[in-house]
A and B are shown apart, each in its own frame.
Chain A
Amino acid sequence: MGLASISTASEGIQFCIFDLRRGQNEGQELDKILFFFPADLPFSTQLSVIGLSEGLITFTRIFSPEAACEVIEAERHSHVFYEAEADIWMVMVVEKSKEAEAIWRIEDLRKVLKEVHSLFVMFYGPVRAMLEKEPNGGLIRSHLYPFIMDYLSAYQKRSPWDNCCWDFLVGKKLQLPSFRDCLKERGNVQMLTVGREAAIEVQSLVRILESCVGNTQCYSLILFQDLLVSTTLSPVDTINLFTYAVQRLTPHALSSGASSWSYLRRASTSSHAGSGSTLAHSGSVSEQIYHSSDFSPSGDNNNHVTRPLQHGKWSKGNDGFLVTDIWGVDAGSSMIASPTVWLQQTEERMYLCTYQYKGLTLILLMPVSSILNGEQGVSVVKQQVLENASLKILKVEEKLSKGWGGENAYHVGGYRYLLVDGDRNISRASPPGKVTTLTKESLLAMSKLREEVDLEKGRAKWDNAGLEKDLEVCIRAKNNAWVIARITRGKELYMVLEKANETLLYASDAFEKFSSRYCNGAFSLD
């Protein structure tokens, strides 16, 4: 029964990770496969998907050794490629459905691949490193599988006012980001805009927080609600940790708890719990498959695989610090083990220490290597935080919540927009609740426009390395909405103006006004 349900669940999408350096000899092809979804597909099918992908990669490399193929559009499928690490490829094959909802942007899908890999690296380090640690591949497989399944199944809604679903597994199908997400940008952080005084207080808090660890170089991330306030991490680590925090650690993520952890879109199914169990079941079945398969690892490793994306595992302790048993129990002190993450910037493993006060979430990262006595050392730091920073935290929380405009704070009347600062990896968009008021036509037009812009950006990157291209597109959509995109020196602004005047002058004026008022005139070049 389980098998039957899985086969239907996986209809239309395949997702695999493979290593080109493995399984090059005949008969050992299975060795290449590090992950395959759906796991219950016969190996022959899995191998044929991977074989095709490998062939395409090899072929395209002839022409473009640096960047092999990014996407293959077949008649019924799209193949999205992402080279996560050297020779480690992630490929997603999606079926082109006749259903209108199944219209997506390739770049958005690739960002999903990128995100899942980045998160994986944040918790376990690079895939390649794990392969080198255990060349038979059992270790990496036993980590990748539950991790990605957790990622796919439990991809949580981004924010309380987010009505658009980020869920990937809806009902029996993996629900991919669609054109409805055209005014969103994955792999970015959303920031809270703060005044100078609050910003100084925040920085002051950051310094106090980091000084609690002593003289060791450590890092911190501060969020207010689901928005980033401060970071001392490198951009890539910031994005990863922010993504994780918004999914699992922020007050909203905690409070939404088990009930809205559902990967199911409420509207699409009534058998909420049932489907959940289906997935859980499918997971266990898949694991059985992995275990029973001949490239399964020695077994005991499996018991210790942490599943940081597991949902409902975090809760707020009495002292204000967030606790989870995901990382198991510390052998030495028999305390619950502190979470750890691996930073790409410093290539160092860090303890992850999260404190929450009302809407404020503070994440402190300290090197595992420099904290003596393990868990005891961590609790000493926590004590320091409580002693030295409590007052400041209160003050900052008060300042920020006073200045916060609520969930629709960044709504600009009449506009539906997405603003991306590629240099800083920051994006800001109309609140999802407002975006949903757009007609399907507008959204489709914007999605299409973004697809074009993505292509143009990709081309510019290769043509003209070093210089960034400016780009401006203004389209009158079928439903008489203006759909506008402009790129200026690394910053992108997309907007939809519905029910607007028909002249181009009007559209351009409206754009200009927005640019000068909300973007410091960054887009007002002429």
Chain B
Amino acid sequence: MSGKASSSQPSIGLGGSGALSHVYIQYPPLHCSIPGLRGLHYDDGNRLLISSTSDQIFSWKTVPFDPLVTPTCDSVSEGPILRIRFSLDAKLIAVQRSSTEIEFYNRETKETFFQRCRSESENILGFFWTDCPLCDIVIVKTSGLDLFAYNSVSKSLDLVETRKSNVSWYVYTHESRLVLLASGMQCRTFTGFQLSSAGMIRLPKFEMAMAKPEVNSKPVLDAEDVYIVTVYGRIYCLQVDRVAMLLHSYRFYRDAVVQQGSLPIYSSKIAVSVVDNVLLVHQVNAKVVILYDIFADSRVPVSAPLPLLLRGFPRSYSSSRFRESENSEVNNTGESVIYGDNWTFLVPDLICDISNKRSWKIHLDLEAISASSSEVPSVLEFLQRRKLETYKAKQLCLGIVRTVILERRPVSVVARAIDVLVTSYSHSIKTGSYFKGLKNEKTSPSNVPNVNSPVSSTDVSTSRIDGLGKSIRHESAAGIDNESLNRSSTFSASESEDISSFEPKTNSNDLQLGGCKADRASLSGADSANEVHRSSLKYQLPGSSDSSINANIAEQQDSQLTSPAISPDEMYRFVFASVEEEMVGDPSYLVSIIVEFLRSANLEKIKIHPSLYVLTVQLLSRYERYAELGLFIINKILEPSKEVALQLLESGRQSIQTRKLGLDMLRQLSLHQDYVLLLVQDGYYREALRYAWKHKVTTVRPSLFLEATFASNDSQHLAAVLRFFSDFIPDFHNTADFNSYYRVLNEMKSSIAA
């Protein structure tokens, strides 16, 4: 462990670390360390960390996450900064100065203007930029929502629409495009709007469940206890019930909000992250994190609660030690304590250590997770659903399958494992993500998957930071250009996000609940935005990935794959061919596995590469199971191909029946020339000649036929064959072949006569 830690850049792709954990943060963090900075804000629309000095704001891109990223700087006027967000095209900066006033900066023209509340009775709770076609910015006030469009001519905001509602507080994440407005005495009555590129959707009003500590007391729900979570393209809301010690979950549909059950919590302080569609519930007081994969609406944790690990900390003492002992030395050196009080969790997967002005990105340790379960099919399903570390997930899947085969686990177990992989591949083919990955391989070496991860933050988290934060300034950065691209192509992005590759299953769930269609539509809106975001960065970032020191080999390979799906060809190369080398003895077990694979692939209508068939022929004939081989060929379990035919001919050296199967296959594939050649080779020159005549095979040299006939030592046949060629090949009389065999024929005749 310490050995690992001492190397300054332990590769994520290799080995993991010895400590037991499923989730880790990687040293070094992103330092927002510029002297004089005040406060830290997070703009989830652009995924920027923002901090300010008295007249400047600095912004750090967190996507892709690069600890050495240089901040961009913009000038603003002095004054308090409650909230700060860049417009989605990054041309404007909006700074909330007070509860009634927002100041806007145009980054190009340096012009500014103010937007103020009209009446004194209402306060601005917050605001966010949106890619909804109706408007550009939404201001949330105690009296409801105001939707404004930016008028670039008049350099002001035009009010588009107002939605009246009493609002105590609100939560919003850009990745879900969903704003939830809390109202009522207990703040547990919610009105929701989704403002996506598809338009604005009003969700039905709903109430959250809250247990009562005593009969008459009514606890008030706090904004910090509500999280909007986006996993697998679905939107959930998680709500902490401190009395019941439960985390309630609700799923949003266009016309319904459905409670989905509750997760137990073991800490009074809870935080929620989403990494690669895996829900992480940080039990902050207990200093452990529990993972849930709520793909199949299962509320069973992926694995046991384990601590969060700091990896790659360049000290001789281990991070686990320093996690346990809240060591003064650690604090002195400026390192943060795991789950320290000053940690803020930014949606979806960032941790911000406000006092030390640094942030970490949370990673899953897929290796550790897959090693912690012996349920092979479910581990494979989990890995196949991963989108971030696709290369590693894929390698792990291949390794697992190889292992279960080499361990000769029961065929049924291996069959289920193979089913998982084949089904997943089939899905990825249908949704195109598999081929997309292949395309990316050529076009983009950038860290696409990082971008791919949902874009977001909540105003909740922002507001938490707010108390500490002050203002900033910035210059143009890559992200800004991205946004313009993003914005312009939002509607043309018809390709649905990879996430939706698993949608059909969830869809059937949705149907029962009634509101599915809408949900799906709204999601695809959000998804397509993600998609565009990603593709725009693809063009943007080829250079920048070089500067990323975190980009080790595994990550770069990740970046080339958008799906961990395993193609039949890869199954052959990395599973069957490789285990075949290691397995000794009777091949019937491996044949069984191949049969299961073929069955699975056939159900999904997936094409199999002939090399697997060739391998099967080799296995069966090596142990002389020719009867079975015959059945496999006749029933076309091994589909006909030239490769298979040639292997049958090769294996048929010991078994004439098998050789004939190969010949028949050549004939059925209309590989006339090969067929004729083999017939001649076997001494069936007359049959070959007839066949060649019938199928107009002219490429086989007459001399081959003549040689074979001569070998049979039958002068009549030789005469007939000679005659055949003389009749049907012009000028055959003048060839050397004719002359020599004519002479031979005469000699044969005279010898008979003599």
Q: What is A's interface to B at a CB cutoff of 8 Å?
A: 194-197, 199-201, 203-204, 207-208, 210-211, 217, 230-235, 238, 388, 423-424, 466-467, 470, 488-490, 520-522, 525-526
Q: Which of A197, A203, A235 contacts B595 (CB 8 A)?
A: A203
Question: How many pairs, one residue from A and one from B, have CB atoms within 8 Å of each other in the complex?
Answer: 84
B608 smallest CB distance to A (angstroms) = 11
Which of B101-109, B435-443, B558-566, B630-638 contacts its partner? B630-638
Structural contact, B602 and A521, CB atoms closer than 8 A: no
Cβ of B258 within 8 Å of any chain A Cβ, yes or no, is no
Which residue of A is nearest B659, CB measured?
A423
Give the residues from 637 to 688 in chain B that come closer than 8 angstroms, CB to CB, to chain A.
637, 639, 656-657, 660, 664, 667-668, 683-684, 687
Cβ of B586 within 8 Å of any chain A Cβ, yes or no, is yes
Structural contact, B602 and A196, CB atoms closer than 8 A: yes
Structural contact, B591 and A521, CB atoms closer than 8 A: no
Structural contact, A207 and B630, CB atoms closer than 8 A: no
Do A203 and B660 contact each other (CB < 8 Å), given the known contacts A208-B412, A388-B412, A526-B694?
Answer: no
Q: Which of A207, A208, A217, A521 contacts B667 (CB 8 A)?
A: A521
Structural contact, A200 and B637, CB atoms closer than 8 A: yes
Q: Which of B592, B628, B683 contacts A211 (CB 8 A)?
A: B592
Structural contact, A210 and B588, CB atoms closer than 8 A: yes
Distance A230 CA – B628 CA, assembled complex (angstroms): 8
Which residue of B is nearest A210, CB measured?
B588
**Which residues of chain B have C-beta atoms less than 8 A from A423's C-beta?**
656-657, 660
Distance A521 CA – B665 CA, assembled complex (angstroms): 11
Q: Which 7 A-B pairs give the minimum distances between C-beta atoms?
A: A199-B635, A207-B592, A423-B657, A526-B690, A200-B599, A203-B595, A196-B636
Cβ of B539 within 8 Å of any chain A Cβ, yes or no, is no
Structural contact, A489 and B625, CB atoms closer than 8 A: no
Do A520 and B660 contact each other (CB < 8 Å), given the known contacts A196-B637, A199-B631, A204-B595?
Answer: no
B666 smallest CB distance to A (angstroms) = 12
**Which residues of chain B have C-beta atoms less than 8 A from A467's C-beta?**
683-684
Taking A197-B602, A204-B595, A525-B694 as known contacts, 14 extra A-B pairs with beta carbons closer than 8 A to each other, sorted by chain A number, are A196-B602, A196-B636, A199-B635, A204-B599, A207-B591, A207-B595, A208-B411, A210-B588, A211-B410, A235-B627, A424-B657, A466-B683, A467-B684, A490-B660
Distance A200 CA – B635 CA, assembled complex (angstroms): 9
Name which of A211, A217, A521, A522 has the most chain B CB atoms within 10 A of its CB: A211
B379 smallest CB distance to A (angstroms) = 23
Cβ of B693 within 8 Å of any chain A Cβ, yes or no, is yes
**Which residues of chain A have C-beta atoms less than 8 A from B632's C-beta?**
203
Structural contact, A424 and B602, CB atoms closer than 8 A: no
**Which residues of chain A have C-beta atoms less than 8 A from B169's C-beta?**
none
A-B contacts, 10 listed (Cβ < 8 Å): A196-B602, A196-B635, A201-B599, A207-B411, A232-B628, A233-B627, A423-B656, A489-B687, A521-B667, A526-B691
**Which residues of chain B have C-beta atoms less than 8 A from A234's C-beta?**
627
B447 smallest CB distance to A (angstroms) = 42
Distance A522 CA – B639 CA, assembled complex (angstroms): 18
Do A231 and B598 contact each other (CB < 8 Å), given the known contacts A489-B660, A490-B660?
Answer: no
Structural contact, A520 and B664, CB atoms closer than 8 A: yes
A221 smallest CB distance to B (angstroms) = 10
Cβ of B596 within 8 Å of any chain A Cβ, yes or no, is yes
Which residue of B is nearest A389, CB measured?
B412
Structural contact, A470 and B637, CB atoms closer than 8 A: no
Structural contact, A522 and B664, CB atoms closer than 8 A: yes
Distance A217 CA – B636 CA, assembled complex (angstroms): 25
Distance A18 CA – B524 CA, assembled complex (angstroms): 86
What number of B residues sit within 8 Å (CB to CB) of A? 38
Which residue of B is nearest A490, CB measured?
B660
B728 smallest CB distance to A (angstroms) = 14
Do A232 and B684 contact each other (CB < 8 Å), given the known contacts A196-B637, A522-B664?
Answer: no
Q: What is B's interface to A at a CB cutoff of 8 Å?
A: 410-412, 415, 586, 588, 591-592, 595-596, 598-599, 602-603, 625, 627-628, 630-632, 634-637, 639, 656-657, 660, 664, 667-668, 683-684, 687, 690-691, 693-694
A426 smallest CB distance to B (angstroms) = 9
Q: Which of B415, B635, B684 contacts A489 (CB 8 A)?
A: B684
B724 smallest CB distance to A (angstroms) = 13
Which residue of B is nearest A199, CB measured?
B635
Q: Which of A199, A233, A238 contacts B636 (CB 8 A)?
A: A199
Structural contact, A194 and B635, CB atoms closer than 8 A: yes
Do A217 and B637 contact each other (CB < 8 Å), given the known contacts A208-B412, A526-B694?
Answer: no
**Which residues of chain B have C-beta atoms less than 8 A from A208's C-beta?**
411-412
Q: Which of B603, B631, B664 contacts A230 (CB 8 A)?
A: B631
B354 smallest CB distance to A (angstroms) = 58
Which residue of B is nearest A488, CB measured?
B687
Structural contact, A525 and B411, CB atoms closer than 8 A: no
Which residue of A is nearest B591, CB measured?
A207
Distance A525 CA – B634 CA, assembled complex (angstroms): 20
**Which residues of chain A have C-beta atoms less than 8 A from B684's C-beta?**
467, 489
**Which residues of chain A have C-beta atoms less than 8 A from B694's C-beta?**
525-526
A15 smallest CB distance to B (angstroms) = 32
Which residue of B is nearest A233, CB measured?
B627
Distance A211 CA – B693 CA, assembled complex (angstroms): 50
Structural contact, A470 and B687, CB atoms closer than 8 A: yes
B433 smallest CB distance to A (angstroms) = 27
**Which residues of chain A have C-beta atoms less than 8 A from B637's C-beta?**
196, 199-200, 203
A490 smallest CB distance to B (angstroms) = 7
**Which residues of chain A have C-beta atoms less than 8 A from B411's C-beta?**
207-208, 211
Distance A453 CA – B688 CA, assembled complex (angstroms): 23
Structural contact, A231 and B683, CB atoms closer than 8 A: no
Name which of A204, A232, A234 has the most chain B CB atoms within 10 A of its CB: A204
A465 smallest CB distance to B (angstroms) = 12
Distance A521 CA – B89 CA, assembled complex (angstroms): 68
A230 smallest CB distance to B (angstroms) = 6
Structural contact, B602 and A231, CB atoms closer than 8 A: no
B675 smallest CB distance to A (angstroms) = 11
Q: Which of A211, A232, A521 contacts B627 (CB 8 A)?
A: A232
**Which residues of chain A have C-beta atoms less than 8 A from B588's C-beta?**
207, 210, 217
Which residue of B is nearest A230, CB measured?
B631
**Which residues of chain A have C-beta atoms less than 8 A from B657's C-beta?**
423-424
Distance A197 CA – B119 CA, assembled complex (angstroms): 73
Which residue of B is nearest A522, CB measured?
B664
**Which residues of chain A have C-beta atoms less than 8 A from B603's C-beta?**
197
Structural contact, B627 and A231, CB atoms closer than 8 A: yes
Do A525 and B664 contact each other (CB < 8 Å), given the known contacts A196-B635, A208-B412?
Answer: no
**Which residues of chain A have C-beta atoms less than 8 A from B625's C-beta?**
232
Which residue of B is nearest A193, CB measured?
B635
Distance A234 CA – B623 CA, assembled complex (angstroms): 12
A215 smallest CB distance to B (angstroms) = 8
Which residue of B is nearest A197, CB measured?
B602
Distance A231 CA – B634 CA, assembled complex (angstroms): 13
**Which residues of chain A have C-beta atoms less than 8 A from B595's C-beta?**
200, 203-204, 207
Distance A116 CA – B591 CA, assembled complex (angstroms): 35
Distance A489 CA – B683 CA, assembled complex (angstroms): 12
Do A520 and B668 contact each other (CB < 8 Å), given the known contacts A203-B632, A207-B595, A238-B627?
Answer: yes
A312 smallest CB distance to B (angstroms) = 32
Distance A217 CA – B628 CA, assembled complex (angstroms): 14
**Which residues of chain B have C-beta atoms less than 8 A from A388's C-beta?**
412
Distance A490 CA – B655 CA, assembled complex (angstroms): 14
Distance A521 CA – B635 CA, assembled complex (angstroms): 16
Distance A210 CA – B603 CA, assembled complex (angstroms): 23
Q: Which of A207, A231, A488, A489 contacts B631 (CB 8 A)?
A: A231
B696 smallest CB distance to A (angstroms) = 13
Distance A89 CA – B694 CA, assembled complex (angstroms): 48
**Which residues of chain B have C-beta atoms less than 8 A from A197's C-beta?**
602-603
**Which residues of chain A have C-beta atoms less than 8 A from B639's C-beta?**
196
Which residue of B is nearest A489, CB measured?
B660
Distance A336 CA – B691 CA, assembled complex (angstroms): 60
Name which of A203, A488, A521, A526 has the most chain B CB atoms within 10 A of its CB: A203
**Which residues of chain B have C-beta atoms less than 8 A from A525's C-beta?**
687, 690-691, 694
B22 smallest CB distance to A (angstroms) = 34
Distance A95 CA – B664 CA, assembled complex (angstroms): 44
